[in-house]
């Protein structure tokens, strides 16, 4: 039954990183804020289906591989094996902790949390429909759409089949596959290829392009290809599916090139769509694109001035870390009459949680060559570092790209265990002003020994030695 309309300064739709960033900033500035979450728990796709569970899975599988490969622990021929269900129990514990933590932010900051599906009645009124069919309407001066995204599911594939998964439903997989087809070799596809291969599953990875993760520096992309190949993943480039059919005990994929392959199950990981179709956006004059995404200006405003959008629902860079800052910047624009004074850093770090990890920030060699920038390369191989030898994590390297004349750091590329942590040291120096952002910093500072961070000193000396 409809109740008296509650009014808020701002209503935020979605409780992922983007929605959380906006709601916290606005509430701390004294605005009355409500957040709408259509699921039972806060946190969005980041906490429940994407970033947190897949990284928790990856961590467990990495430790399993480490255990099985260590002569110290595994002194018999029988290697330890865990099922997907076993490993998911750790991820579930992490999700519970994150949900409890994030839920506390809203109550502590006096943000009204409402559960239900939001849809616009007009440009200032939202209808919130609960699971039991009851609803209430609320009004606000300003709205922030932070509804996130979901896996793209083409209509010609039967995703209700128990052996055909997307990157959300894979987390509730019940059976223990011996073989798997992963269709889509983007970030999600390559991460899951690493995870399942680490569990001993035979993996065929289908890539629609001619190389893996082509936005990466070529050497890093080649390193990933080699390590997947070396670990037994079959990567099939330039392949597109014609049809995907599930039966009682297997899935068959037929490609446009005429190939047929069979596996116990299939994970479809080819792109994502913005969650906008339930919001009734045409009613307020907003039209998402074919992938459900909204366009915004530099202040995160949509074409309707008092409605903002942040996170996956606006597309690139589709990163939890960026979404949180986008939410904060949108809040800043709302608080200062439509003008953001800060923006995302130009060089957003990329963290890809394959096994081993990949992380980079700044320019690639290809980009610098194309732009005719005179750069030089400094490298450090992990196998030469004492800390890597101690931890037995010797696969990988750090690469620093810097200007030959000014010695300014132009790009950092890292492949190996803890890469997504290691890259931040280089990122911090890149962001310095004046002459504080040169490669010479790494030679002139003192690093703890033994550490992985010491790779910066080794790479810097290697690069400076190339100059003449």
Annotated binding-site residues for FAD read: 37-46, 55, 147-149, 312
- Please give the average per-residue pLDDT across 380-393, as a whole number: 94
Residue 1: pLDDT band by 50, 70, 90 thresholds?
very low
In angstroms, rounded to a whole number, what is the distance separating the alpha carbons of residues 238 and 127?
A: 45
In angstroms, rounded to a whole number, what is the distance separating the alpha carbons of residues 347 and 410?
A: 10
- Please give the average per-residue pLDDT across 131-149, as a whole number: 94
pLDDT (0 to 100) of residue 77: 57
- Please give the average per-residue pLDDT across 21-46, as a whole number: 93
pTM for the full model? Answer: 0.91
Asked if pLDDT for residue 79 goes beyond 50, the answer is: yes
Neighbours of 71 (CB within 10 A): 7
Helix (H), strand (E) at residue 66: helix 51-69
pLDDT (0 to 100) of residue 76: 60
Asked if pLDDT for residue 277 goes beyond 50, the answer is: yes
Asked if pLDDT for residue 266 goes beyond 50, the answer is: yes
Q: Phi and psi at residue 254, in whole multiples of 5°? A: -110, 125
Collect all residues with Cβ–Cβ distance below 8 Å to 82 and sequence separation of at least 6.
60, 64, 199
pLDDT (0 to 100) of residue 89: 80
In angstroms, rounded to a whole number, what is the distance separating the alpha carbons of residues 378 and 391?
A: 24
Annotated binding-site residues read: 37-46, 55, 147-149, 184-191, 271, 312
Greater confidence, 53 or 358?
358
Cβ–Cβ < 8 Å for 416, 382: yes
* % of the chain exceeding 70 in pLDDT: 96
pLDDT averaged over the chain? Answer: 92
pLDDT (0 to 100) of residue 257: 96
pLDDT (0 to 100) of residue 74: 63
In angstroms, rounded to a whole number, what is the distance separating the alpha carbons of residues 37 and 467?
A: 56
Instruction: Say if residue 115 is exposed, middle or buried (CB neighbours under 10 Å; 0-12, 13-18, 19+).
Output: middle
In angstroms, rounded to a whole number, what is the distance separating the alpha carbons of residues 329 and 309?
A: 11
pLDDT (0 to 100) of residue 78: 54
DSSP letter at 282 equals: G
Return the structure tokens found at 17.
């990183």
Q: Which domains does the chain have, with CATH numbers?
A: 6-150+273-335 (3.50.50.60), 164-270 (3.50.50.60), 356-464 (3.30.390.30)
Annotated binding-site residues for NAD(+) read: 184-191, 271
pLDDT (0 to 100) of residue 2: 47
In angstroms, rounded to a whole number, what is the distance separating the alpha carbons of residues 357 and 59?
A: 11
In angstroms, rounded to a whole number, what is the distance separating the alpha carbons of residues 336 and 25?
A: 12
Neighbours of 113 (CB within 10 A): 16
Cβ–Cβ < 8 Å for 61, 355: yes
């Amino acid at each position: 039954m409809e109740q008296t309309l509650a009014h808020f300064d701002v209503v935020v739709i979605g409780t992922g990183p983007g929605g959380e960033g906006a709601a916290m900033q606005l509430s701390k500035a004294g605005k009355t804020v409500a957040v709408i979450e259509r699921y039972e728990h806060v946190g969005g796709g980041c906490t429940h289906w994407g970033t947190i569970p897949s990284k928790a899975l990856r961590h467990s599988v990495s430790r399993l591989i480490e255990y099985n490969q260590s002569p110290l622990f595994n002194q018999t021929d029988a290697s330890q094996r865990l099922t997907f269900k076993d490993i998911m129990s750790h991820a579930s514990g992490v999700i519970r902790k994150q949900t409890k933590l994030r839920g506390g932010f809203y109550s502590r900051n006096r943000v009204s949390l409402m559960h239900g599906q939001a849809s616009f009645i007009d440009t200032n009124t939202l209808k919130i429909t609960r699971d039991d069919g009851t609803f209430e309407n609320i009004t606000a001066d300003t709205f922030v759409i932070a509804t996130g995204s979901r896996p793209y599911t083409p209509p010609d594939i039967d995703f209700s089949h128990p052996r055909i998964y997307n990157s959300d439903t894979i987390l509730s997989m019940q059976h223990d596959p011996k073989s798997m087809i992963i269709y889509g070799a983007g970030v999600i596809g390559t991460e899951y290829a690493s995870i399942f291969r680490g569990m001993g599953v035979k993996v065929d990875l289908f890539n629609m392009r001619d190389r893996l993760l082509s936005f990466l520096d070529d050497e890093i992309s080649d390193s990933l290809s080699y390590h997947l190949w070396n670990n037994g993943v079959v990567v099939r480039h330039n392949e597109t599916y014609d049809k995907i059919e599930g039966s009682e005990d297997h899935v068959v994929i037929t490609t446009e090139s005429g190939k047929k392959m069979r596996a116990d199950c299939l994970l479809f990981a080819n792109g994502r769509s913005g969650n906008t179709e339930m919001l009734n956006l045409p009613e307020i004059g907003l039209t998402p694109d074919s992938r459900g995404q909204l366009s915004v200006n530099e202040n995160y405003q949509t074409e309707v001035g008092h409605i903002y959008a942040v996170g996956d629902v606006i597309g690139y860079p589709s990163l939890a870390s960026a979404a949180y800052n986008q939410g904060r910047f949108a809040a800043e624009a709302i608080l200062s009459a439509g003008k953001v004074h800060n923006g995302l850093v130009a060089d957003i770090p990329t963290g890809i949680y394959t096994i081993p990890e990949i992380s980079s920030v700044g320019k690639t060699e290809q980009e610098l060559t194309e732009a005719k920038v005179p750069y030089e390369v400094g490298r450090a191989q992990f196998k030469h570092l004492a800390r890597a030898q101690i931890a037995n994590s010797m696969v990988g390297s750090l690469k620093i790209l810097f200007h030959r004349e000014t010695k300014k750091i132009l790009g950092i590329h890292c492949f190996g265990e803890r890469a997504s942590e290691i890259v931040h040291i280089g990122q911090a120096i890149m962001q310095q002003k004046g002459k504080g952002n040169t490669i010479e910093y790494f030679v002139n500072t003192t690093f703890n020994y033994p550490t992985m961070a010491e790779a910066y000193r080794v790479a810097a000396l290697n690069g400076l030695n190339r100059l003449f």
